[in-house]
C-alpha cells in the first residue's frame, strides 16, 4: 500500500502570536515551529498502515526552508521519503494554490491513501485536503477518528453533531485526520539518525508545472477583539457568591 501524508509546519500551540503593527501578518520572531498536530495523526496512521500492509510512506510539505525540519521529523517517525515544495510564491498562499502544488507532486507518485490533518492550527482554514482530493479526482473522508482498510476500500468513522457516521470510500482517497484517530509515536534516536539519510526531493512551483494565481488573501491581520473587563464577584460565603452570579446571569447578561 502506497501512502502519502501531507504535513505543514506551524507555530507550536504554546506560541504567543504577535500581530505586526501594520497588520500585514504575524511576527515570526521567537516562534517555535512544529508539525501541525492534526498532520501528526495522519503520519501515524500512514505508518500503522505500512506496518500492516507494507509499502511506502511519502511525506509532502509546502513551506519555506525551515519546513524541511518537519519533513525530517516525519521521516524520523518512520516515513520513507519526502517531497519539499519550496517556492516563495506559495508562502501564505490560499488553499486552492497549495492544493494545486500538492496535487502536482502527488500525481507523480503511487498513492492509495493520502492523509492530511483536518486543519492546520495556524490559519485554521481546513480546506487543503478536500481541494487536493478534487484536483486528484478522488473521494474525501474528513474529520476521521477511526480507519479500517477492507480490500480496495476503507471504512471510517466521522463524528458529526450528535452522531457518528460509518462511511465507506473507494480507494484512492483523501483522509483528513481528527484527534482521536491514534496516538502519534515519538521519533526514536535511531529513527532520527536514519532520517538524515532518507531522500527528500525539493521542488518549486515551475518544476511541478504549477502557476500560482491567488484566489484569496488575508488583507489584514488584527489582534483579537478586546473583551470588556470582567467583574469579580465578592462575598463572604460560596452560597452568597453563587446567588449573585445567578442574578447577574439572569438580569444583566440575560443568558439564563
Residues in region 22-51 near another protein by CB under 8 A: 26, 37-38
Residue of the chain from 1, 104, 138, 192 that contacts another protein (CB under 8 A): 138
Q: How far apart are CA 173 and CA 70, in angstroms?
A: 24
All three cell numbers of 188 = 526514536
Of 32, 36, 38, residue with least CA distance to 8: 36
Which runs of E-coded beta strand occur in 88-162?
113-117, 140-144, 146-150, 153-160
Mask for 204-223, x = binds another protein (CB under 8 A): ----------xxxxxxxxxx
Using the rule CB under 8 A, give the single segment among 49-57, 71-79, 138-146, 203-211 that binds another protein.
138-146
Q: Does 151 bind another protein (CB under 8 A)?
A: no
Q: How far is the CB of 94 from another protein (least distance, A)?
A: 5
Residue 93 beta carbon to another protein: minimum distance, rounded to whole angstroms: 10
**β-strand pairing of 18-19 with 26-27:** antiparallel
Cis amide linkage into residue 194, ω under 30° from 0: no
Collapse the DSSP code of 146 into the 3-class scheme (helix H, G, I; strand E, B; otherwise coil) and give the result. strand
Question: x/- binding map, residues 61-100, to another protein, per CB under 8 A?
Answer: ---------------------------------xxx--x-
Contact 3, 111 (CB under 8 A): yes
User: Which residue of 57, 75, 79, 133 would you call a contact of another protein, by CB under 8 A?
Assistant: 133
| 107 contacts another protein (rule: CB under 8 A) | no
In sequence order, the β-bridge partners of residue 57 are: 3
Q: Least CB distance from residue 217 to another protein, whole Å? A: 6
Question: Which residues are within 8 A (CB) of 119 and not within 5 positions of it... i.e. 6 or more apart?
Answer: 38, 125, 126
CB atoms within 10 A of CB 116: 32
Nearest approach, Cβ of residue 113 and another protein (Å)? 13
Q: Which of residues 4, 5, 11, 175 is near another protein by CB under 8 A? A: 11
By the rule CB under 8 A, 115 interacts with another protein: no
Angle at 135 between CA 44 and CA 10, to 5 degrees: 45
Residue count at the site for another protein (CB under 8 A)? 85
Q: Does 1 bind another protein (CB under 8 A)?
A: no
Name which of 32 and 215 has its Cβ closer to another protein. Answer: 215
Amino acid at each position: 500500500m502506497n501512502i502519502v501524508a501531507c504535513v505543514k509546519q506551524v507555530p507550536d500551540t504554546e506560541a504567543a502570536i504577535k500581530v505586526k503593527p501594520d497588520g500585514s501578518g504575524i511576527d515570526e520572531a521567537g516562534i517555535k515551529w512544529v508539525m501541525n498536530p492534526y498532520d501528526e495523526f495522519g503520519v501515524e496512521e500512514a505508518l500503522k498502515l505500512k506496518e500492516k500492509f507494507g509499502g511506502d510512506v511519502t511525506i509532502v510539505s509546502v513551506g519555506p526552508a525551515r519546513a524541511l525540519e518537519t519533513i525530517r521529523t516525519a521521516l524520523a517517525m518512520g516515513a520513507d521519503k519526502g517531497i519539499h515544495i519550496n517556492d516563495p510564491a506559495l508562502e501564505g498562499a490560499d488553499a486552492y494554490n497549495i492544493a494545486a502544488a500538492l496535487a502536482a507532486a502527488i500525481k507523480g507518485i503511487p498513492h492509495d491513501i493520502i492523509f492530511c490533518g483536518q486543519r492546520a492550527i495556524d490559519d485554521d482554514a481546513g480546506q487543503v485536503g478536500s481541494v487536493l482530493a478534487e484536483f486528484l479526482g478522488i473521494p474525501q473522508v474528513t474529520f476521521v477518528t477511526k480507519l479500517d482498510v477492507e480490500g480496495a476500500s476503507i471504512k471510517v468513522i466521522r463524528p458529526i453533531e450528535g452522531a457518528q457516521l460509518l462511511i465507506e470510500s473507494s480507494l484512492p482517497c483523501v483522509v483528513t485526520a481528527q484527534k482521536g484517530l491514534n496516538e502519534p509515536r515519538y521519533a526514536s534516536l535511531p529513527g532520527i539518525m536514519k532520517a538524515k539519510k532518507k531522500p527528500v526531493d525539493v521542488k518549486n512551483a515551475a518544476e511541478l508545472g504549477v502557476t500560482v494565481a491567488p484566489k484569496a488573501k488575508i488583507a489584514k491581520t488584527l489582534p483579537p477583539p478586546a473583551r470588556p473587563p470582567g467583574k469579580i464577584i465578592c462575598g463572604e460565603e460560596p452560597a452568597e457568591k453563587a446567588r449573585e452570579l445567578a442574578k447577574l446571569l439572569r438580569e444583566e447578561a440575560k443568558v439564563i
